[in-house]
Structure formats: structure tokens, C-alpha cells
Structure 1
Amino acid sequence: MASLLFFIAGGQLCKAQGAYWLKWTTDPPLQSADWTTFINKIEAERYLDSLEHSLQHLGYLSLFSQEEDVSSDSLSVTIILGENYTWQEISLGNVPEEFSNNIDPITAEYNSASRWMHEVVSMAENKGFPFAQVKLDSIQRHGNLLSAVFNYDSGPLILWDSVKVAGDTKTQERYLQNVTGIQPGTPFSQKQLNEANQVLSRSPYFVQTQFPQVDFQVQKAQPTFTLRDRNTNVLDGIIGLLPNQNEPGKMLITGQLDLELYHLGGKGRDLALHWKRLNIATQSLEISAKESFVFNSPLDVSLGFSLLKQDSTFLNRYLSLDFGYHMSQTSYLRFFTKRQSSDLLDTEAFDEVTELPEVADYRWNQYGIGWALDRRDSPFFTRRGFLITSEFALGNKRILENTGFPPEVYDNLDLNSPQYLGKLEVEKHIYLRPTWGMWLKGSGAFTQNENLLLNDLFRLGGLKSIRGFNENYFFAKSYGYINMEQRLFFGENSFLMVFADFGIVENPYFATSIDKPISFGAGINLDTGSGIFRFIYGVGKSNLQPLQFSYSRIHFGYLARF
């Protein structure tokens, strides 16, 4: 009985999988296909229609089919091609010269006219004529040679109307006009609408819930974008209590606070505050604010302040002003100025030095340019694409005379000298399978000055650079490192991963100035719906840290988004 049921089920399965068979060939035998299975007869006939249409585009205008029913579920077809027609001459007729000059000339092949007409209509759609048409007129045949005249009808000129915003979003219409480039009174462009759809799909502030709709009325085109705001704002904090070694009996408050507010007022206005204090003497503070499309121009303005107190050694402060320009939907240019100040906190150890030590007081006014190219498919749930960011800055650094140093330290020392730096980052996402992807990132930077100080150097190490080490573990005059991750996805933004980081770091104040840190480990990135939890376990090796599991590091955090 079980065997009987098995064969009945197998027969039904085979019948469902091979419902209709088709075999075809052309006469003359230019193309053919052996028996191919389709879901049903309707699908097979659709395939035949498509095949005949493609052959007609090759110039076989008089083709016809001879069909032979082999059985109730099988069909053999012979397509009689007939004569092949080509173009002898096509007059441009009334097609505007601005179109004909920008399209490749028509060749003798029959489908070249179809291609040419399609390109004319496409160009017209991008110049304010979405209803333009091109037809062939006065067609004449001389044997298998054809001649005709193009007849162009532009239709009415259509101008953009104001952008309309729909959906659960606080986004302002004016912001959407600026970010898409669609301005009222300018000619309609299908290409511009398609590019707007792409740039909005990459927005960090919202998602599109449906394809943009266009309403045509009285020579006006009003686009409607239906959006839903993302949960992009971040509030994250950790508070710790430790015994205060400097004041016995009292407690020391340590911790970390991350506050990021995005798209305030629906205008692309961003604010961020980051504070960190992990021990009694070291803490950092970063504050930034950004205003997008100032006065409805493609110009952004950003202000930033940063403070780093490195134990009892020095205090660094940065004040920056950025001007960003949207060159295109994916390219962004920055011009910035920054004032960097550094002051020593304790000079007792330098009472008897005879030359400038590794740390000193200075002021550095720098001016720079930066550029970014973002071709990622999504800012948060990236699967494919790449991101390139770069910057270069130069300016004059002035070393201040500290009364805690012996005066002879500054003898024959050029207190004013030029200093410059450069940075480059390249990030690549590779989506191999629905559950498997790779993330690669390469970063490098350098800074140069004849009086380069320890408190001038870059800081790196930790979760956002070389993992398996403490945050800001390395001082670097120049550096380069590569991050590599293999990701196994089990959700839109949830994945398991293994990683390896390789770097090279130059620090002129260490005995061995060149360090080549490496690290590896594994972790998880978990999207909880209301935030992102990340846990990474890594172990690293450098000149100052052996490759031992007792030196392993755990990087974890939770970003609550609202």
C-alpha cells in the first residue's frame, strides 16, 4: 500500500513539474531549442510570442509559424523566417537637431530604427516632454530594402510642480526638493525622478514605502513621495562607580553617554554629543551640529567641538567649522577649518630637560578639503556598494613657551612651522548569497611636522578601528589597517561574524617605531527592533601586547534608537 501511494504521489509530482513541452526551430535553421518544459500551455504560447517579436526586430517581418501537436502536452513549432529586411534610408524628418546630434547614427539593421526612436523619446522625457512620440511615416519597400521618414510629436511641455510628501514622516517638502533636486518650474525629467528614487532609498532619515507617484495636471507634474521615518535617534549610556584612589572613602563616577538626534524638524538638522570617562584621569567629549541646505542652497554647515584629557599629561581641544557641498546624489565635497589646541597639565617631570620633550603646548590652525563618494545601497542595512572618504589639511603650528620648561629648551627652535595631514578610507560591501556577505575596509592616514609631538599623533584601537585592543591604545604618526569580516545573516541587520584586522602603525616616540598589530575574533550584531546590540570578542598582538587569551578584549554596546 505504501509503495502504491508513493508511485501515485510521484506520478502527480512529475505531471505537475512537466505540464507542457515545447520544441522549436527556424527555417532556414538559424536558431533552435530542444524540448523545454513550461508550467502550462499559456506560458509556452507567451514564450513563442516573445520569440517571434525578437525575430521581427532582427528584420524578419514576414515570418509565420507552423505548429505540430505531438501530443496533448507537447508542441513542435517551425518558424518560417521569410525575407530579411534592412534599411536603405531613413529621413530624420522633424526630429529636433539637438536629439539627432546626440544619438548614434542609424545602421542598416532593422532594429536600429527602433533603438533610435526609443532614445529620442527617452531624451525628450528628460527635457520636459514625457508624452513625446516618434513614428515611422511614408514607408516604402524596394525588394528587401526599406525607406521611411521619422515623424516626431513632442506633446505639451511639462514643468515640475511642488514636491508633495505623504506618509508617517516629519520630513519637510522644502528639504525633499533640495535633496532630490526637483525644483518647481523646471522641466520634467524621468531621469531625475529615477535618480530621486535612488537617493531617497539611501537616506539615513526615512524609507520609501512605495514608488514615487506623479500626477500630471495642466502642463504640471507633481511628484508624491510616500515616506516613513526611520528610528535613527540614539540614546545610549553607561554609568559606573569605582573607588576614588585619590580621595579614599569617596566614589568616582565613570561611564559613557551617546546622544544623537537626526533630522530635527524634518530639515536634515543633526546634533550629537559623545562623552566618555573610563578611568579617574582620562575622559573625552565630542559635540557636533549640522544644518543641511542652508538658505535652500546645496550647502551644508557643520560645527564641531572635541576635548580629550589624557590622564595628567595633556589636554587637547578641537574647534571646527565645515562647509559641505552636494556635487551630485552620491558625491560630497567639504571645505573645513579647524583650530587645534593642546596644553600640558603637569610639567614637574620636565624641570631638567634640555630639549623639547615629546609633549608640549601648541596651537594649530588648519585648513582643508574633503571628499566622499557613497555608492552603498543603504546607509544602515548595506549589502552592496562602497564608500570612499578622504581629506587633506595643512596650516601653521605654533609652539607655545611653557614657563614650566627651562628657557634653553626653546633656543634655536623654530616655534612656527607648517604641518599637514591626510586621511583615506575605503569601505566595500559584497553580497554573495542571501545569508552570506563580506565587509572590507581599508584606512590610512599621516601627519608631518618638523616638531611633531606625542599629543599631535592620531589615536586608534578599539571597536571602530583595530579590534582586540583598548580604545585609543595606539599613538600613530602614520598608520594603515585593513578590517575584514565574513557575515552570516539571519535578519535584515542581524548577523554572526568572524573578523581579522591587520595594521601597520608608526610612532616615533617608541623604541621600535614600527608596529604591526594583528587581531582576530568573532561576534554578533543583533537588531532588536528598538536598537542594535553588538558583542565582539577579539584578541590582538602588537609590540606591547603578546598574543595571549589573557589579553583578549570584549567590545560590546547597545544603541537604542527612537
Structure 2
Amino acid sequence: MAQSLHLRAVGQVETESRVLESLNYKNSFETFNNLQIEAQHISIMLLDQGYLESDLLSLEKQTDSSYVASYRLGTLYTNARIYFTADFNNKILKLVSASITETYFEIELAKLETALQLLNTEIANNGDPFSTLQLTNIKKANGLLTANLKIEVKEQRTIDTIIVKGHDKFPKAYVRRYLKLKPKQPFNLNTIRRKTAALDNLQFASQIKEPEVLFTKDSTLLYIYVEKQKSNTFDGFLGFGTNTETNNIEFNGYLNLNLINTLNYGESLRLLYKSDESDQKTFDVKAKLPYIFGSPLGMQVGITIFKKDSSYITASQVAKIDFQINPKNSIGLGISLLTSTNLLNVDVININDFQTTFYDLSYHYTNLQRHDRLFPINFLFEITGGLGNRTLKNTDETQSKFELNTFKIFNLDDRNSIYTNINAALLNSNTFLDNELFRFGGINSIRGFEENSLLANLFGVLNTEYRYKVTNSLYINSIIDLAYYENQSLATQSKLLGLGFGFGVLTQAGLFKLNYSNGSSEDQTIKVSDSKVHLSLTATF
């Protein structure tokens, strides 16, 4: 059996020997070669400790199995003062030092090597990936190391070509305007990664992997990896309830089609048709065209037609220019024209022909949670304010309106979450017509009430759900809805409550949801016979 060899490190004085003992070096070896390597490694550890003048003086054999390594430690250097030129980026230096003057920065010597590596990485990310840092004119005096920081500068790189892989028809305008990446920009890898991360806030595309860069002798090629996502949706529901007057079961429902990036321009188109139990019909078409002609501006246009049995028909036309501030925020400026016609042959109180023109300002915020297939949007906030003029029987009246639609999902853990939604609107006017008031109630408003059965010039609805995920494709939820509304034309104010429960299941056909709810007001208690059952299916393709 081979005999173990032992190593002991000593200094020239007792204090140096104690320093060597504190290094916790290895002292037992199978071979002499390994013992020599450890003796050299002790020298490196001394340098890391700040003993820049240390030296291995000798390695002597004491007995057949023991050796003594003698070291001279010299002066202990704890800090370094590094001088830099005036054109050095002080913002980068703040990453490594809290003591910075106009000509030098100070740092603990033990942290100097790591600091230089970090500085070199930051310089590379800011457009010069081939630069190197050097310390020159190194001096040692009174326990302080001084040196000059020199950057060996190569030619600064800029992005020459941007190539999208994986989704060859990805809209070019989104690279330039949405990601804000274009040729001739200084190459900065960290900035590029931060910008491409915004791809995950798009509904029709996502990032497959981190961007990559190919450097050639005279050009820099940036590769972005994008995958097209299924983003078109077809949504519909079937509802039924008992008519309190006839005691017959009545059915209602709607169809909602959303097409996103079908033409590979990032455009979206929404088509909605709704027919409800109150003999009301709604037809709504909206189109959004982003980055028109490659500019930072987009356009939204739409038309909505609402028909109330044989009483009146109202048409709303909207045109808006919007500006994308960043991937999550946008603002819009637009005009809306509202025209209503009385279909009855006789004059009816509060139903008249009129025309209103509004000039609107809006703000929109969206934050996705793409990892969640059941609830892909975590936070939405949209607010619109408008000033306008209504013409009624050759009489003009100034009006204003405000609309708010926002919801947020609070994820308590992987299975439990709380959903809150606020929908509110206000119409300011001296007089009001029934055919210009806001209509709300139903599955997309306060649940437990008939669709669009409530009229108001001011209303606010709070929807809440406690959601529990049974699996990644099945959840159950509670329904607690509160609402307040005012109708000045009828001099009424009321508070509403909707209670119920539901579930949702993700099937191969899409997301199927069932909600059972019942509503009550201050002067009307909950009746089981008035309960509403809503079925819906949202298919993504």
C-alpha cells in the first residue's frame, strides 16, 4: 500500500504562518506531483488574498512522508485604485464600485478580477463584443494597488441585417415598430434580448428561443426566432330562462368571431352578432390595422347596429388613430358618429331620431400570461373619454361620456386565483333619450339578468370569481356580481346583486363554459324561476 505524503506551509514569521493555516489548503496526498501542485496553488490563494508580493521560497523534505513549503508573504494589499480615461462610461463603473471620482474608482482587491470581467461584458453588450480590458502601469505602495484601465477598442458593431426564422411571414413593421429593432442600431445584446421578450405579449406569435448573432468580417447578422400562434377565436353561447309573463322557456345567444393576423400584417377583425330574449339584435364589426404604411400609427374602424324590437334602430360608426407606446401600452384618438331612428309610427316619450358626434381619447393596457391556456390574459385596462354634440329636432346639446373596462387575475398559487372585472360608463347630458342610454346586463355584464335589459346613463358593474383549477384544463368558479346604476330619465337608482357558480373545461373543440346565476335588486328578491343558465364555447384556430 502506498504511503501518504503530508504538506505543511509555513511563513517567515509566526503571523505569516497563521495566515497560511487559515487558507485551509489540502495537506494529504497520494503522489509527490499532487503535493507540488497544491504548493503552487497556495501561492495563487495568497495572491487572491491580496499578498501580491508573496513567493514560494522552498519545498523541502523533512521525513520520508512529510514536506514543508516556506513562503514569504510581504505586504497585504486590500484595495485597488483604478484610473480611467474621461470617455469611459461612468454608468458601467457604478456596477462594480461605489467609490468613483472623475479620474479613478476604488474597489476591494479581492473583487477586482470579477469586476473587470463584468466591465468587459457590459462593454461588449454595448456594441463592441470584441473589446478587451487591460491593467497597465501597475504600482504598489502603502498597501494600495494602483493601475490604469485601458480598453483595447475594436470597431463598434451595429446591426446590419435582421432575419426572422420560424415565421417567415412575420410582419416586418412589427420588427421595426413593435420591437423597435432596425439596421444601423448599435449592437447591444442585452437590449436586443429585452426587446424580443416583448414577443410574448403578442397573441399571434411568440419567441421560440433567445436571439442569436452571426459576426462576419464586415457585418453583423441578428437572428430572431419566432413561432406563429393560433390566435383566431370563435365564441358563442346559448342561454335559456323562463319568461315571467308567459312561463315559457326562452332561448338567446350570440356568435363572436375574432380573426388575428390572418393576412400576416398583424391586423385583427371582430364580427359579433347577438340576439337575446328581449327581441334585441346587435351586429358589430371592428377592424384594427397596425403600423399603416410602416408608420408608428395604426387605425381602428368599426360599425355597430342595434335594433330594439320594432321600437328603434341605432347605428354607431367609429374611426380611431392609435399609437403604440410600447408592447403593453397604447393611446388612441378618434371620432364616433351615433345615429338613431324611431321605427314607431307615433311619437314615444324618450325615443326620438337624433345624431351625436363624439371626439374620443382612449388608453389601453394589456398584460398576457401565455403559460396559462385557460386564462391567457392576466390584466387588461381600457378607458375612453369623449366630448360631443347631440342634434335632436334641430336642437344641439353638448354631451360627454366616459367608459372603463378593466379586469385583473390575482394568482394565489398554481390552482387558486381571484378574478375581478370592473365595467363602468357615464353619459353627461341635460336631457336623455332611451335610445342613447347605455344598455347592460347578461353574461358579459352583471350575470343573473336578461341580456341588455337595463338602461342607464351611469352604471358600474363589479364581477368577481373565485377560481379553482381542478386540472390544467378544468376549473370551477363562484359568481358574485355587484352593480349600481342610475337612469335620470326615469328618476331611478338601484343596486343589483348576481350570485351563482360555473365551470370551464378545455376540450379539443375549445373552452366550454357553463354559468348558473340568479339576480336580485333592492326591491326584488332572488327567485329560482328567474335563474339564468349560460353555455358558451370559445374555439381557437
Superposition TM-score, scaled by structure 2 size: 0.75
* Cα pair distance change 1:456/1:157, threshold 3 Å: same
Question: C-alpha separation between the residues in 2 aligned to 1:519 and 1:501?
Answer: 5
User: What amino acid sits opposite 1:198 in the alignment?
Assistant: A
Tell me how far 1:534 sits from its aligned partner: 1.5
Tell me how far 1:237 sits from its aligned partner: 5.8
Q: For 1:12-411, what aligned pairs fall within 5 Å after superposition?
A: 61=50, 85-87=78-80, 89-93=81-85, 95-96=87-88, 106=100, 108-110=106-108, 124=123, 127-167=126-166, 170-236=169-235, 256-279=254-277, 281-348=279-346, 350=348, 357-378=349-370, 381=373, 382=375, 386-400=379-393
Q: Say which is worse superposed, 322-331 or 150-159, in terms of deviation.
A: 150-159
> What SS does the corresponding residue of 1:188 show, helix, strand or coil?
coil
Tell me how far 1:317 sits from its aligned partner: 0.5
> What SS does the corresponding residue of 1:198 show, helix, strand or coil?
helix
Q: Say which is worse superposed, 104-113 or 154-163, in terms of deviation.
A: 104-113
Question: C-alpha separation between the residues in 1 aligned to 2:444 and 2:371?
Answer: 17
**2:497 matched residue in structure 1:** 518
Question: C-alpha separation between the residues in 2 aligned to 1:520 and 1:132?
Answer: 66
* Cα pair distance change 1:127/1:60, threshold 3 Å: same
**1:44 matched residue in structure 2:** none
Q: Is contact 2:238-2:535 (8 Å) kept?
A: no
Tell me how far 1:271 sits from its aligned partner: 1.7
1:37-93 deviation per Cα after TM superposition (whole angstroms, max 9, x unaligned)? xxxxxxxxxxxxxxxxxx99xx95569xxxxxxxxxxxxxxxxxx968234x33123
Question: C-alpha separation between the residues in 2 aligned to 1:289 and 1:361?
Answer: 28
Q: Aligned match of 1:452 in 427, 432, 438?
A: 432
Q: Is contact 2:501-2:516 (8 Å) kept?
A: yes
1:358-400 deviation per Cα after TM superposition (whole angstroms, max 9, x unaligned)? 2222111111111122334339745785332111111111113
**2:421 matched residue in structure 1:** 441
1:441-500 deviation per Cα after TM superposition (whole angstroms, max 9, x unaligned)? 233221101122222221222222222222212212112222222222245564222232
**1:539 matched residue in structure 2:** 518
Matched, 1:497 2:477: yes
Matched, 1:557 2:527: no
Tell me how far 1:262 sits from its aligned partner: 1.2
Question: C-alpha separation between the residues in 2 aligned to 1:343 and 1:545?
Answer: 33
Q: Structure 1: which 5+ runs fail to align?
A: 1-26, 29-54, 64-81, 241-251, 351-356, 402-414
**2:446 matched residue in structure 1:** 466
Tell me how far 1:123 sits from its aligned partner: 5.9
Tell me how far 1:98 sits from its aligned partner: 7.2
Q: Does 1 or 2 have the higher relative contact order (CA < 8 Å, sep 6+)?
A: 2
1:7-64 deviation per Cα after TM superposition (whole angstroms, max 9, x unaligned)? xxxxxxxxxxxxxxxxxxxx99xxxxxxxxxxxxxxxxxxxxxxxxxx99xx95569x
Q: Is contact 1:157-1:219 (8 Å) kept?
A: no
Q: Structure 2: which 5+ runs fail to align?
A: 1-17, 20-44, 53-74, 240-249
Q: Say which is worse superposed, 294-303 or 164-173, in terms of deviation.
A: 164-173
Question: C-alpha separation between the residues in 2 aligned to 1:474 and 1:280?
Answer: 11
Question: C-alpha separation between the residues in 2 aligned to 1:138 and 1:483?
Answer: 70
Q: Is contact 2:175-2:182 (8 Å) kept?
A: no
Question: C-alpha separation between the residues in 2 aligned to 1:220 and 1:524?
Answer: 56
Question: C-alpha separation between the residues in 1 aligned to 2:524 and 2:322?
Answer: 41
Question: C-alpha separation between the residues in 2 aligned to 1:259 and 1:212?
Answer: 34
Question: C-alpha separation between the residues in 2 aligned to 1:217 and 1:297?
Answer: 31
* Cα pair distance change 1:220/1:485, threshold 3 Å: farther
Question: C-alpha separation between the residues in 2 aligned to 1:366 and 1:142?
Answer: 77
Structure of larger gyration radius: 2
Q: Is contact 1:362-1:399 (8 Å) kept?
A: yes
Superposition TM-score, scaled by structure 1 size: 0.72
> What SS does the corresponding residue of 1:192 show, helix, strand or coil?
helix
Q: Say which is worse superposed, 288-297 or 482-491, in terms of deviation.
A: 482-491
> What SS does the corresponding residue of 1:550 show, helix, strand or coil?
helix
Question: C-alpha separation between the residues in 2 aligned to 1:117 and 1:384?
Answer: 42
Q: Is contact 1:94-1:150 (8 Å) kept?
A: no
* Cα pair distance change 1:234/1:450, threshold 3 Å: same
* Cα pair distance change 1:172/1:491, threshold 3 Å: farther
Tell me how far 1:146 sits from its aligned partner: 3.3
Tell me how far 1:156 sits from its aligned partner: 3.0
Q: Is contact 2:173-2:291 (8 Å) kept?
A: no
1:255-293 deviation per Cα after TM superposition (whole angstroms, max 9, x unaligned)? 633222210221112222111223584211001112111
* Cα pair distance change 1:556/1:432, threshold 3 Å: same
Q: Is contact 1:298-1:326 (8 Å) kept?
A: yes
Q: Aligned match of 2:507 in 503, 528, 531?
A: 528
Q: Is contact 2:135-2:147 (8 Å) kept?
A: yes
User: What amino acid sits opposite 1:396 in the alignment?
Assistant: N
User: What amino acid sits opposite 1:193 in the alignment?
Assistant: I
Tell me how far 1:226 sits from its aligned partner: 2.9
User: What amino acid sits opposite 1:338 in the alignment?
Assistant: S
Tell me how far 1:326 sits from its aligned partner: 1.0
Question: C-alpha separation between the residues in 2 aligned to 1:274 and 1:218?
Answer: 55
* Cα pair distance change 1:489/1:349, threshold 3 Å: same
Question: C-alpha separation between the residues in 2 aligned to 1:219 and 1:427?
Answer: 50
Tell me how far 1:312 sits from its aligned partner: 2.0
Question: C-alpha separation between the residues in 2 aligned to 1:427 and 1:116?
Answer: 45
Q: Is contact 1:171-1:265 (8 Å) kept?
A: no
Question: C-alpha separation between the residues in 1 aligned to 2:336 and 2:372?
Answer: 29
Tell me how far 1:172 sits from its aligned partner: 3.6
Tell me how far 1:341 sits from its aligned partner: 0.8
User: What amino acid sits opposite 2:330 in the alignment?
Assistant: Y
* Cα pair distance change 1:193/1:346, threshold 3 Å: same
Q: Is contact 1:208-1:227 (8 Å) kept?
A: yes
Q: Say which is worse superposed, 475-484 or 172-181, in terms of deviation.
A: 172-181
1:323-348 deviation per Cα after TM superposition (whole angstroms, max 9, x unaligned)? 11111222101111110111111152
* Cα pair distance change 1:494/1:293, threshold 3 Å: farther
Question: C-alpha separation between the residues in 2 aligned to 1:308 and 1:544?
Answer: 29
Question: C-alpha separation between the residues in 2 aligned to 1:530 and 1:277?
Answer: 23
Tell me how far 1:549 sits from its aligned partner: 2.4
Question: C-alpha separation between the residues in 1 aligned to 2:271 and 2:234?
Answer: 10
Q: Is contact 2:214-2:221 (8 Å) kept?
A: yes
* Cα pair distance change 1:114/1:294, threshold 3 Å: farther
